[in-house]
Amino acid sequence: MYILEKAPAKINLTLDVLYKRPDQYHEIAMVMTTVDLADRLEFFLLDKDKIEISSENRFVPNDERNLAYRAAKILKERYQIKQGVRITIDKQIPVAAGLAGGSSDAAATLRGLNRLWNLQLSMETLAELGSEVGSDVSFCVYDSTALAEGRGEVITELPAPPQCWVVLAKPVQGVSTQSVYQSLNLDNLEHPDTEGMIKAIKTGDYDGVCNRLKNVLETVTLPKNPEVEQIKQQMIRSGADAVLMSGSGPTVFGLVQQESRADRIYNSLRGFCEEVYVVRLLGTHQTLD
């Protein structure tokens, strides 16, 4: 018996850091949504009491460091599951890109094993377990559009933003999320209008969404990675309605309503940047077709 799950990439429409907490985590507020660029995970039931994991991507560890493995282990231990699982990951999301690929794999693992092992756990329970694997995993469990607060694990679901195309461009050099947060200076930050973004999403106001894209982590990643700013400028020149860096970067995304304009941006970035994708904004959970 086996189960398939899709693990889509996420983008931040806003990312705000409010303060550093006594437990050393940052208190954040971010509006996130999903795009149609996804890893595909397969889960095969094993009779032996073991978790096996494989992925052909050389940047992804095929052992207990893999976030999908960690999610499976937590579920297995918490519910004392005697059966095992073989997990294969077909990696499509660039690694260390600010697109939460690893977190999305962990979340897909929680959803997939909930079905494979017939645990009948609620989304809330899966999201809670996910927060033990990583801060973005709770959001990825819902796999929709949401406001994430706390250290990322307090989720309020939102409707999908207005439909549009998303051009994603990832510079070669990846970025470590942890080091970006460590270098963030909280003084004099210009904060995103999170409430305004939520309102724009709820009223289907595409221009309102575009006008409010903002990510405070750009203050760290942009000065260290000049190509991020260059990609942003190139996207604007080629007709993007709005552009932003996702997560801690370095991936930049541009929003646009016409497919022809998305193609123009895509073509203008090739040669400039190795990994470029044109995808639809999803914003709600999709089952595998």
Burial class (CB in 10 A: 0-12, 13-18, 19+), 147: buried
**Residue 95: other Cβ atoms inside 10 A:** 15
Stretch that binds ligand ATP, among 19-27, 91-99, 194-202, 281-289 (CB under 6 A): 91-99
32: contact with ligand ATP by CB under 6 A: no
To ligand ATP, the closest distance from the beta carbon of 207 in angstroms equals: 27
- Write the interaction track for ligand ATP spanning residues 198-237; mark x where CB under 6 A is met and - where it is not: ----------------------------------------
Secondary-structure breakdown of the chain: helix, strand, coil percentages, each rounded to the nearest 5: 35, 30, 35
**Number of residues in contact with ligand ATP, rule: CB under 6 A?**
22
To ligand ATP, the closest distance from the beta carbon of 173 in angstroms equals: 12
Stretch that binds ligand ATP, among 95-103, 194-202, 215-223, 260-268 (CB under 6 A): 95-103
Q: How far separated are the first and last CA of the chain, in Å rounded? A: 18
145: contact with ligand ATP by CB under 6 A: no
CA–CA gap between residue 37 and residue 282 (Å, rounded): 9
* Closest residue by beta carbon to ligand ATP: 102
Site for ligand ATP in 48-67 (CB under 6 A): 59-61, 65-67
Burial class (CB in 10 A: 0-12, 13-18, 19+), 207: exposed
- Is residue 95 part of an annotated ligand binding site? yes
153: contact with ligand ATP by CB under 6 A: no
- Which tokens go with 246? 């996702």
- Which tokens go with 197? 């973004």
Active-site residue list: 10, 136
The CA distances from residue 146 to 142, 179, 210, 214, in Å, are 9, 25, 17, 16
- Write the interaction track for ligand ATP spanning residues 96-115; mark x where CB under 6 A is met and - where it is not: xxxxxxxx-x----------
To ligand ATP, the closest distance from the beta carbon of 136 in angstroms equals: 4
To ligand ATP, the closest distance from the beta carbon of 288 in angstroms equals: 18
Pairing mode of beta strands 165-170, 145-149: unpaired
247: contact with ligand ATP by CB under 6 A: yes
Of 215 and 248, the one with the shorter C-beta distance to ligand ATP is 248
- Is residue 17 part of an annotated ligand binding site? no
Of 184 and 236, the one with the shorter C-beta distance to ligand ATP is 184
For 107-167, the DSSP string reads HHHHHHHHHHTT----HHHHHHHHHTT-TTHHHHHHTSEEEEETTTTEEEEEPPPPP-EEE
74: contact with ligand ATP by CB under 6 A: no
- Which tokens go with 29? 């507020």
For 24-72, the DSSP string reads SPEEEEEEEEEEEEEEEEEEEEESSS-EEEEES-TTS-SSTTSHHHHHH
Residues of the binding site for ATP: 94-104
Interacting residue ranges for ligand ATP, rule: CB under 6 A? 59-61, 65-68, 89, 95-103, 105, 136, 177, 247-248
Residues of the binding site: 94-104
